[in-house]
């Protein structure tokens, strides 16, 4: 007998909780958490002492789960942080215009990018772990979180269509259905420990040492006061860039300074080296930093586009 959807969802929620993964309800047929978002918090009921996020509400308590899922056919949200999980979320393109950046050229979807990433790291694709196929054909690879590191969710940090869900995030659990398409376990194994090399890539960088801008004039001995001031201004912008805007900040700085390289006031090598240090000191990976600088230089006419 096929269980009713509501019962199947309750079972899915209980099964996740039995694995030790705290769950919370998602809206029926949807990926969004049930209940109110923080901006509409009534400050009453379960939020009488302040808004409680799904991550805070997620539970392993089977009675509480049964009570909740009896009220509606909720999808199953798994709070990855409290579940001690890091889920690698391999997505597929939204449509044919959703294509990879040059760094991942040739990749058709997140799984390809992840395979390329493993190859670059000289590591095997870690597929021997609990895996869920998402409703659009992507995959969720579940790993146990490293001990002593509190990893947060990331978006595109590892590569195109490769996100991770950890603290501050959640995944739609197996057994859920969104828009009529279901999330299904395709490899029913215990989650493997997150490979150390991935954990290193995802670990928050230690706070960067402040870049000593005071020494800049000494390093730029042959540059004019004007160009040194311009360089300093651009570096300051980079250093104050926020996560999410760091790449762009480096790109625009390279673009702005390209003019002074063209006029011979600054050398490409010097600007490049200063921007590399500034970019990396705010946590931008060296590879991304180099690409952003290169693109800015090319766009600003400081250098020819190379056939790299």
Nearest CA to 198 out of 151, 246, 132, 243 is that of: 151
Q: Shortest approach of Zn ion to residue 298 CB, angstroms?
A: 49
Q: In terms of CB distance, is 82 or 300 closer to Zn ion?
A: 82
Q: To which residue do tokens 């899922």 refer?
A: 69
Residue 174 per-residue DSSP state: T
Q: Shortest approach of Zn ion to residue 143 CB, angstroms?
A: 31
Q: In terms of CB distance, is 41 or 157 closer to Zn ion?
A: 41
Q: Is the dihedral of CA 206, 153, 278, 195 positive or negative?
A: positive
| Cα–Cα distance, 149 to 59 (Å, whole number) | 22
Is 53 an interacting residue with respect to Zn ion (CB under 5 A)? no
| Cα–Cα distance, 247 to 285 (Å, whole number) | 10
Task: Give the binding range for Zn ion (CB under 5 A) out of 26-34, 49-57, 83-91, 120-128.
Answer: 49-57
Q: In terms of CB distance, is 38 or 103 closer to Zn ion?
A: 38
Q: Shortest approach of Zn ion to residue 42 CB, angstroms?
A: 7
Q: Shortest approach of Zn ion to residue 57 CB, angstroms?
A: 9
SS3 190: coil
The crossing angle, in degrees rounded to 10, of helices 268-281 and 286-299 is 140
Q: In terms of CB distance, is 26 or 111 closer to Zn ion?
A: 26
Footprint of Zn ion on residues 89-128 (CB under 5 A)? none
Q: Shortest approach of Zn ion to residue 54 CB, angstroms?
A: 10
Among 11, 51, 133, 135, binds Zn ion (CB under 5 A): 51
Q: In terms of CB distance, is 47 or 256 closer to Zn ion?
A: 47
| Cα–Cα distance, 231 to 294 (Å, whole number) | 16
Footprint of Zn ion on residues 19-48 (CB under 5 A)? 41, 47
Q: In Å, how far from its chain's centre is CA 46? A: 30
Site size for Zn ion, by CB under 5 A? Answer: 3
Q: Shortest approach of Zn ion to residue 135 CB, angstroms?
A: 28
Q: In terms of CB distance, is 2 or 48 closer to Zn ion?
A: 48
Return the structure tokens found at 299.
């766009």
| Cα–Cα distance, 157 to 204 (Å, whole number) | 11
Per CB under 5 A, residues contacting Zn ion are 41, 47, 51
């Amino acid at each position: 007998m096929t269980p009713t959807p509501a019962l199947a969802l309750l079972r899915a929620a209980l099964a996740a909780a039995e694995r030790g993964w705290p769950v919370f309800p998602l809206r029926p047929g949807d990926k969004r958490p049930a209940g109110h978002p923080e901006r509409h918090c009534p400050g009453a009921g379960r939020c009488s002492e302040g808004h409680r996020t799904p991550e805070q509400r997620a539970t392993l308590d089977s009675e509480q789960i049964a009570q909740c899922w009896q009220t509606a056919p909720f999808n199953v949200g798994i709070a990855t942080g409290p579940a001690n999980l890091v889920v690698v979320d391999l997505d597929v393109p939204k449509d044919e215009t959703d294509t990879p950046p040059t760094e991942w050229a040739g990749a058709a979807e997140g799984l390809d990018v992840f395979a390329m990433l493993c190859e670059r790291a000289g590591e095997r694709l870690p597929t021997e772990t609990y895996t869920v196929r998402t409703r659009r054909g992507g995959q969720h690879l579940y790993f146990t979180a490293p001990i002593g590191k509190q990893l947060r969710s990331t978006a595109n940090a590892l590569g195109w269509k490769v996100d991770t869900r950890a603290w501050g995030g959640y995944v739609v659990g197996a057994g859920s259905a969104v828009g009529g398409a279901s999330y299904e376990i395709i490899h029913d194994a215990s989650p493997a420990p997150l490979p150390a090399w991935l954990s290193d890539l995802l670990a928050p960088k230690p706070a960067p040492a402040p870049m000593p801008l005071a020494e800049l004039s000494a390093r730029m001995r042959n540059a004019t006061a004007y160009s040194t001031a311009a360089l300093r201004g651009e570096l300051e912008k980079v250093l104050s860039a926020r996560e999410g805007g760091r790449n762009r900040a480096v790109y625009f700085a390279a673009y702005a300074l390209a003019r002074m390289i063209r006029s011979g006031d600054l050398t490409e090598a010097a600007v490049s080296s200063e921007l590399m240090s500034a970019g990396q000191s705010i946590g931008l990976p060296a590879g991304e930093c180099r690409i952003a600088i290169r693109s800015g230089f090319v766009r600003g006419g400081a250098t020819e586009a190379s056939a790299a």
